[in-house]
Structure 1
Amino acid sequence: MPTLLALDASSNACSAALMIHREGRDEVLSRFALTPREHTRRLMPMVDELLAEADIGLHQLDALAYGRGPGSFTGLRIAAGVAQGLAFGADKPLLGVSTLAALALAAHRRYHLRYVLPALDARMGELYVGAYRCHSGELEPLTEEAVLPPERLTLPKGYEDADWVGVGSGWTLWDSIPVTVQAGISQHLSELAPAAEDMVQLAARQFAAGEGREAHLVQPVYLRDQVAWQKSR
């Protein structure tokens, strides 16, 4: 298991997680807090706490990772900036981890769910959505990540009869979800948020696959680049 530090600020939650091997076993240390509009103030203290708890320095990491999106534009930039700065300073590779995949893994690990539809509230009357089949800790994406109005949400073709569970803040828009999709959802867990604790697990697999990149090459995934550009003018 690599020694990895993961950061996330893609939602109202702020989190950090450290994967280490000590005392003969693999361990994940984590911090998580619901801190709207306080990510800048809270993220680095979480990092410092984790490194101090593990009694290691940045130079002892194998790589760093962060929640690359989709999610809050501001939050993604904060996490990307902090992660890139730390990776540059420590001369370590950086990995971007999907927030939707992290949500799916969280649902699978905690509740043993097999078919997961992660959805995040994208504001402006839209959702960030994905679909995953989960088995033995592994994730298989069944659709590409997308941003769309809740009225256009559909179940993955060929899997309409699966026992789907919705997770993430996007499911607070339940009343706008098509009835055909509602009928295929056995339950929805809107309180579940992306967390670095799950991202560090996915990052470890990406690192093992050789996906670590130089810090300046890793970019957030907004799924709404053109809209974000227009709104900023």
Structure 2
Amino acid sequence: MPKILALDTSTDACSVALHVAGEIREDFRIIPRQHTKQLLPMIQAMLDSAGLKVKDLDAIAFGRGPGSFAGIRIATGVAQGLAYSAELNVLPISTLAAIALAHHLQSGDQQVLAALDARMDEVYWAAYRFENGLPVLIGDERVDAPANVCLPDSGHWAGVGSGWRYWQGMSDQVKQFITRVDADSQGAEAQDKGVAENTTYPTAAHILRLAIEDYQQGKSLSPELALPVYLRDNVAWKKKDQQ
């Protein structure tokens, strides 16, 4: 079995996971604005606990987005830096696919619409169907106003992720065919759908589960080809004299 390290900093959560000897170990923490300080020590502690060095790994996986602009850059940069130093390949994994997988493993739902809060009254979202236990993307990953989120068809769908806090602003089609929502900060109407009380974050453990499959299918990339996925093109940069 491959030895793969996975990391994710795409939200307020920071997590590191390791697959070794058929076992997945994870360190998951909700630490807003501390990712830069905490990620490398978390990685080192994880490797030390397994008696491994970076060069002993077969690949490094990371949450490539969508999510926090700064967070995705942190994960991408650290994954690339470690991979370069040890001459390893990397496995970029969708954060939306990771939260869809987390929901599927917990609930067994076969059709999942994953949505993350993109701020600015928008959501990152994508629809997935599960085949042989793995998420298959239907269409594209998108960033939209909540009213523009839509379902591929009229079947039974489950919603997961922090983007569902915008439930009230979503279309009648979504409200009609979403049968279950896992998110936080929902209104009474969404509560009738069976809303869980906690936000579902992308986690390194679920990113790792997807990365193992990609690795076995030969989908790893050289570090320079592993790019973050922002979705939003109009990222606002402050001028130097404003920082």
Q: Provide the rounded CA distance (Å) in 2 between the counterparts of 1:39 and 1:231.
A: 20
Q: Deviations over 1:135-168 (max 9, x none)?
A: 4422221221011110111111xx31x2211110
**Equivalent in the alignment of 1:48:** 44
What letter matches 1:227 in structure 2? N
Q: Deviations over 1:9-36 (max 9, x none)?
A: 0011110110111xxxx10000101111
**Equivalent in the alignment of 1:178:** 171
**Equivalent in the alignment of 2:16:** 16
What letter matches 2:23 in structure 1? E
Q: Provide the rounded CA distance (Å) in 2 between the counterparts of 1:208 and 1:9.
A: 24
What letter matches 2:208 in structure 1? V
Instruction: Describe how 1:1-233 pairs up with structure 2 within 5 A.
Output: 1-21=1-21, 26-156=22-152, 159-160=153-154, 162-190=155-183, 191-224=199-232, 226-228=233-235, 230-233=236-239
Question: Normalized against structure 2, the TM-score is what?
Answer: 0.89
Q: Secondary structure at the match of 1:142?
A: strand
Q: Provide the rounded CA distance (Å) in 2 between the counterparts of 1:92 and 1:121.
A: 32
Q: Provide the rounded CA distance (Å) in 1 between the counterparts of 2:133 and 2:209.
A: 10
What letter matches 2:217 in structure 1? A
Question: Normalized against structure 1, the TM-score is what?
Answer: 0.92
What letter matches 2:234 in structure 1? V
Q: Deviations over 1:58-80 (max 9, x none)?
A: 11100001100001000001111
Structure 2: state its 5+ residue gaps: 184-198
Structure 1: state its 5+ residue gaps: none
Deviation at 1:216, TM superposition (A): 1.7
Deviation at 1:232, TM superposition (A): 4.3
Aligned length: 224
Q: Secondary structure at the match of 2:205?
A: helix
Q: In percent, how many aligned pairs have the same letter? A: 43
